[in-house]
Structure 1
């Protein structure tokens, strides 16, 4: 009951606080709430969470230190390391729709079991990226804007495209 109430307050009030260069304290309020009340991350004054960040039901999400999560990010379940930058409109998915049986409408087949992605330390995820269930993104990687990540990403890789492919290695 407590978890539902605190998530309700987050979705009704906290996540909709306005953002601007002149109201930077609203991000600090969101970080405080997500760390101290929802307990999804350690409290860190360097972290930022912008408005309209969707945190599913708050179960199965872990966010590290010094993370920057921009507006309109959608996180179902995931482990996010330290020093991670997430640009606006990113979707981090842990489930998908079942669709194997052609005799049953897809809408009636249900969802797959959760398979949360893992995002290592020091990763930059560009605008409008989609990370599919079960994906592991290696340390120091960069995912270019608009990419759809369908396969694991090696450490220190630069990936882009649909589906995401290796552009080059950072080392």
Structure 2
């Protein structure tokens, strides 16, 4: 990852193990953000308390505890150039947030977000194009 003095990570940004995560140029990642693994392109804004997840738990069997069933395959999300994730957003594994998209505060993103689209809610739904 090239060094860019314009990229700012606030206190308590947690990169799960850091392997496979890339952060682009001129990004702002606010406090208390949790990133399991993701590709974050240039000029992305991430508000406080966002969680970006990549590793779903297996849960198909009912005869053993979920904690003992292991994990699914890695599904790192992709946050495209110029996207903005509002406060307390959760991005689920495998999701792509399109270029210039905005995800409203508190949304849970379970499906891909088209470029230059605003979504919000639980689960996140289309609000309008920008």
TM-score (norm 1): 0.74
Residue in structure 2 matched with residue 45 of structure 1 by the alignment: 5
Structure 1 residue aligned with 2:69, among 76, 91, 109? 109
User: Which structure has the highest helix share of the two?
Assistant: 1
Match of 1:81 in 2: 41
**SS at structure 2 position matched to 1:152:** coil
| Bigger RCO of structures 1 and 2 (CA < 8 A, at least 6 apart) | 2
Tell me the equivalent position of 2:109: 149
5+ residue gaps in structure 1? 1-40
In terms of fraction of residues, the more strand-rich structure is 2
User: How many residue pairs end up in the alignment?
Assistant: 130
User: 1:36 maps to which residue?
Assistant: none
After TM superposition, the score normalised by the length of structure 2 is 0.97
String of CA shifts for 1:26-85, please: whole Å, max 9, x gaps: xxxxxxxxxxxxxxx321111110000001111010000000000000001100010000
Partner of 2:95 in structure 1?
Answer: 135
Taking only aligned residues, the RMSD between alpha carbons, in angstroms, comes to 0.7
Partner of 2:17, secondary structure, is coil
Q: Which has the larger radius of gyration?
A: 1
